[in-house]
Amino acid sequence: MMPGRRDVREVIREEPLRRREIQTMLADGAKTIREISAQLGYPSEEILFWIMGMRKYGYVAEVPEVTEDGYYRYRNADREAF
Amino acid sequence: MDYDVLVIGSGISGMESAIKLGDMGYRVLMVEKEASIGGKMILLSKVFPTLDCASCISTPKMAAAIHHPKVTTMTYSEVETIRRVDGRFQAEIVKHPRFVDEAACTGCQQCETACTVSVPDQFNSDMVARHAAYIPFPQAVPKKAVLERAGTSPCTATCPAGVKAHGYVSLVRSGEYEKAFELVLQSTPLVGTLGRACFAPCESECSRGSLEGAVPIRRIKRFIADRHYQSKHSPGVILKAPKGQRIAIVGSGPAGITAAWHLARKGYPVTIFEAEAIAGGAPALTIPSYRLPSAVVAQDIDNLRQIGVDIRTGVRIDNVQTLSEQGFAAVLMAIGTTASVRLRVPGEDLEHVQSALAFLQAVKTGKRPSLLQMDVVVVGGGNVAIDSARSALRLGANSVRLVSLETRLDMPAFSWEIDEAVREGVELSNGWGIQSISEDGVELVRCTATLDAEGRFNPQYDPAVTQHVGGDRVIVAAGMKPDSESWQSEVMVKPNGRIMVDADTLKTSIPYVFATGDAVTGPSTIAEAAGAGVKAAAQIDEWLRKAPSRLSGEAKPPKVQRDAVLARQTHYAERLPVKADKALVFKPRDFAEIEPGLTEQEARYSSGRCLDCGVCSECQECIAACPADAIHLDRTDEHLATMVDSVILATGFKLFPADLKPQYGYGRYKNVITGMQMDRLLAPTRPYHTVLRPGDGKVPENIAYIMCTGSRDKTVGNPLCSKICCMYSNKQNQLIMGALPLADVSVYDIDMRTTGKGYEEFYLQTAEMGTNFVKGRVAEIVEKDDGNLIVRYEDIEHEGQIQESEHDLVVLAVGVQPNHDVERFFGPNLLGLDDYDYVNETDETMSPGKTNIPGVYVAGTAAGAKDIPESILHAGAAVAQAVAYIEGRRLHI
Ligand SMILES: Cc1cc2nc3c(=O)[nH]c(=O)nc-3n(C[C@H](O)[C@H](O)[C@H](O)COP(=O)(O)OP(=O)(O)OC[C@H]3O[C@@H](n4cnc5c(N)ncnc54)[C@H](O)[C@@H]3O)c2cc1C
Ligand code: SF4
Ligand code: SF4
Ligand code: SF4
């Protein structure tokens, strides 16, 4: 793998560590993967792994409409991370 | 166990074989190594060319197989060997534990939701996380949870106190600090004490130690203890009123306390008798406050009072009889090593000479002597000597000289402790013994060796080399032993004062008197003594109830090997350990704690460095969440043997690892995926909510397919056509156009191979729907900053000109490869393989499915690339061969 792109296993392992950070950020409104990436400073592909993991286990959900440039936005769901 | 046919593998070929054989009345054993049957087909979106939903047609087959009265299915199991015995086959099979009671599990998934460990989901081609506790996929059969455990994590396997170190680390990573505290409490109430003064053997074993440095496992424990005690003054453990036989514990050190903790939680009324005025043993009485403040130990001890343990301090017990007269049914001697070993040199009884234990105890319990302006000599080379020397500095000593027999390298104290002492101003005299002590200092004699030829402690001296060291105070730390003299008339005691016990039962020479901890082993550590306390509690419980005790601990899988852990990733991003940052000053003058605690951020970050060595961390969250009480961590592999008449190999294929074509950038470029990954994105049980590119979640608008990735390609050793990639790409193209009507799809191919009924029509339909088929050989792909990809290809229809086009997602139509698993069943070279390592069909044209071993048949893609209809057909052929073989043999017999 290319330096700069982290091993998938490592990225996924970190998801529990990032949940609260991401939820805190989404508290002021739904955001796209790119927007979350820009605000938190982690690569967008890593944010995607975390968001999809969080989505699977009930921490976030997608907003049904796509933005004009072709992205979905994600919002906090019922489950709260510590 | 006895069956007619063993079917290995439960993909479509295996299931079809098993069901057909079962329908004909044969008894079948189907063995699958994954936790669900179904193989790859159940993971597909739809099937070509009918576009039937794959799971809609797979699930009835899976149900038919699992419920078939003639078919027994073993999942999460592997065939290890198959041997011919008396004309039949004997198969050795290992059933891996799911750690979930299949009968009780309802498939509610609450364990998975609660689990604290995230790993890539292999059933979603690693595109999303799953947890260590998981249900393979929504249509799994059986739909039962499984816990992925690669072994016991090194940290947990090493902890002498049995603390589930990996468990609390993973809980802290999830922000569950209180649960982490509770998990440590399951082993010992000494959470804060161990968090500060444990020598942390777990960290020496930590796999992250091979990278930038170990996870600070001990300091994370301190963090959770500090956090707990900041707001709570109870352990949060609720117990029923104690009942049953009363137990007396003599000594309130880590061993006694931990034993009391477990016995009280089991419901026994427990009384601890402690000779000193303060409970806690060495941690409370001697370990200096700059390492372990008294308040921390007191908080830990308070946990016991909160659950009703009666701790009577200032009560010295000198014999067993007193206790039996008070009606105690069992007695535990946990008296530690509170007596000092004497030097046996002239002058040892002079007034300015003191034992290290007496000195440290006076210091810790508030009777601090002033050593202002004094020169202090400390005798000894162990940790107790170091503690004494550093304490003496803090009491204002002018100088502190530590005299030890050993060289600095051989000193028994930890090297980091010696370093810290030196940095604080302790001077070392290594390689000297004590000849005598006088009013104004000590006479030293050169020590030439500490051990004899047999490795026993037997110091040798050179009397010709001596030295006088001046000193106003001498502190002797020459060793410790149990204060057991008064007990010798009742229980058997060794000459060195240690109490003799049966190594398994911990019973002394009196049946109801047990002994444990340092009193038995000699000086050890807090964690070892706590572990000894757990063992004693189990033995006492077992003896009183005359039944095995659950306190004995559960069977653990073997420790996972560090190399195996590190091999799971191709590379590791650097994550430096948080600095230890101890506040070391030259000649410190107070007993303030020298090690800072971790901040919340540091604790989270540090736990995030954990590699989840055992995968499951044993955090126990799943156990707490499971409403069916179905999870049991104490299960182990089951080995069984079975006899069968015939074997059908249906182990399927492997997908071509796309990173073997580095010019396509798979694994490096974020938006290059495989055909299998696209099938997952299109399936109803997909990893995302729709088709998105993995680089940034964009809905793709311009998708490229690169055909024949890893097929018809001598550069990767596979000249064969994989037969399925053309058609699955066509299928996906049609589905993409349904799901993303605005997306453009281009397919770069050499030619389209559409060799089945209705396949050519299906391809034409794909083209009509708008897929752009480009006759082109792709030379390379380059990633742009925005994640888009430039595809460079040789344009076959335009004289091989090099062309470029830009896409926002590239799908590599990867082909198939043989599954080498099949080779090991029969031993080396017994099963014939073809030139490409698929199982060889000795007479493919006339007797499909037949291998070189009579009675062994191959079904489906284990023999070479096939699509679903072909695999089913092939399975039918293998079944017919197997039946003919079985019946033929029976006729002959
Ligand atoms: C100075 C020093 C520093 C240490 N530092 C560390 C460290 O940093 N980390 C580490 O892991 N280990 C350390 N150790 C070792 C660790 O403290 C011991 O291994 C551990 O305390 C042993 O536990 P125990 O319960 O067996 O005995 P102890 O802790 O010795 O407890 C025994 C208790 O029994 C009481 N008792 C004895 N006889 C009687 C009687 N007849 N009646 C009633 N009560 C009685 C004693 O007063 C004492 O309270 C250190 C030890 C010393 C001395
Ligand atoms: S013990 Fe913890 S880590 Fe292991 S499966 Fe259960 S919840 Fe997951
Ligand atoms: S990496 Fe984690 S699981 Fe492995 S030994 Fe270290 S703390 Fe334990
Ligand atoms: S929580 Fe219990 S019953 Fe539910 S899936 Fe997990 S093991 Fe099965």
The predicted structure's pLDDT at residue B717:
87
- Closest ligand 1 atom, CA of B387? 1
B432-438: strand order across its sheet: B432-438, B441-451, B457-470
The predicted structure's pLDDT at residue A1:
41
The predicted structure's pLDDT at residue B725:
92
Residues of B in contact with A69 (CB under 8 A): 698
| A42: closest chain B residue by CA | B696
The predicted structure's pLDDT at residue A4:
59
Residues of A in contact with B696 (CB under 8 A): 33-34, 37, 44-45, 48, 71
The predicted structure's pLDDT at residue B552:
80
Ligand 2 within 6 A of CB of B621:
yes
The predicted structure's pLDDT at residue A2:
44
Q: Where are the domains of chain A?
A: 8-76
Residues of A in contact with B701 (CB under 8 A): 70
CA atoms within 13 Å, Cβ hemisphere of B549: 21
Q: Which residues contact B56 (CB under 8 A, 6 or more apart)?
A: none
Residue of B166, B622, B696 best to disrupt the A interface, most CBs of A under 10 A: B696
Longest dimension (CA), chain A: 37
**Mutation choice for ligand 2 from B135, B147, B615, B631, CB with most ligand atoms inside 8 A:** B147
Measured distance CA(B426)–CA(B381) in Å, rounded: 12
Ligand 2 within 6 A of CB of B616:
yes
In terms of Cβ atoms closer than 10 Å to its own Cβ (0-12, 13-18, 19+), residue B72 is middle
Please give the interface size between A and B, counted as residue pairs whose CB atoms are below 8 Å apart: 114
In the beta sheet, which residues pair with residue B84?
Answer: B89
Measured distance CA(B307)–CA(B319) in Å, rounded: 27
Q: Do B127 and A16 touch (CB under 8 A)?
A: no
Measured distance CA(B512)–CA(B544) in Å, rounded: 9
The predicted structure's pLDDT at residue B273:
98
Q: Do B118 and A19 touch (CB under 8 A)?
A: no
The predicted structure's pLDDT at residue B244:
83
Q: Does the domain spanning A8-76 belong to CATH 3.30.60.50?
A: no
Measured distance CA(B776)–CA(B803) in Å, rounded: 9
Give backbone dihedrals phi and psi of B226, rounded to 5 degrees, phi first.
-60, -40
Q: Do A32 and B571 touch (CB under 8 A)?
A: no
Q: Which residues contact B873 (CB under 8 A, 6 or more apart)?
A: none
Radius of gyration of chain A (CA): 12
Token pair belonging to B646: 């015939």
Token pair belonging to B862: 């284990």
- Closest ligand 4 atom, CA of B110? 1
User: What's the full length of chain A, in residues?
Assistant: 82
Nearest CA to ligand 4 atom 3: B105
Asked if B710 and B656 count as a contact pair (C-beta separation under 8 A), the reply is yes
Residue A38 forms contact with B (CB below 8 Å): no
Q: Do A33 and B694 touch (CB under 8 A)?
A: no
Q: Do B120 and A12 touch (CB under 8 A)?
A: yes
Residue of B110, B128, B178, B788 best to disrupt the A interface, most CBs of A under 10 A: B128
**Looking at the CA of B163, which ligand is closest?**
3
DSSP secondary structure letter of residue B411:
-
ipTM: 0.96
Neighbours of B893 (CB within 10 A): 6
Which DSSP string corresponds to B466-489?
Answer: EEEEE-SEEEE---EE---GGGTT
Question: Where do the DSSP E strands lie in B496-631?
Answer: 513-515
Residues of A in contact with B118 (CB under 8 A): 12-13, 15-16, 53
| B130: closest chain A residue by CA | A53
DSSP secondary structure letter of residue B787:
S
Which DSSP string corresponds to A11-41?
Answer: HHHTHHHHHHHHHHHHTT--B-HHHHHHHH-
Q: Which long-range contacts (CB under 8 A, 24 or more apart) does B54-59 make?
A: B54/B683, B55/B139, B55/B683, B55/B684, B55/B685, B58/B12, B58/B139, B59/B139, B59/B141
Residue of A15, A39, A55, A56 best to disrupt the B interface, most CBs of B under 10 A: A56
CA of B180 to the centre of ligand 4 (A): 22
Ligand 2 within 6 A of CB of B613:
no
Q: Which residues contact B251 (CB under 8 A, 6 or more apart)?
A: B272, B273, B274, B275, B281, B333, B334, B335, B336, B517, B519
Which residues' Cβ are closer than 6 Å to ligand 3? B 153-155, 165-166, 169, 206-208, 215, 217, 610-613
pLDDT in tens, A1-48: 444 589 999 999 999 999 999 999 999 999 999 999 999 999 999 999
Provide the shortest C-alpha distance from residue B635 to chain A (in Å). Answer: 25
Give backbone dihedrals phi and psi of B641, rounded to 5 degrees, phi first.
-125, 145
Q: Which residues does chain B have with pLDDT short of 50?
A: none
In chain A, count H helices and then E strands. Answer: 4, 2
Asked if B792 and B805 count as a contact pair (C-beta separation under 8 A), the reply is no
Ligand 1 within 6 A of CB of B282:
yes
pLDDT in tens, B455-470: 898 999 999 999 999 9
Ligand 2 within 6 A of CB of B174:
no
Instruction: Scan for tokens 């001890």, then name that residue.
Output: B301
Measured distance CA(B131)–CA(B117) in Å, rounded: 5
The predicted structure's pLDDT at residue B829:
80
Asked if B6 and B648 count as a contact pair (C-beta separation under 8 A), the reply is yes
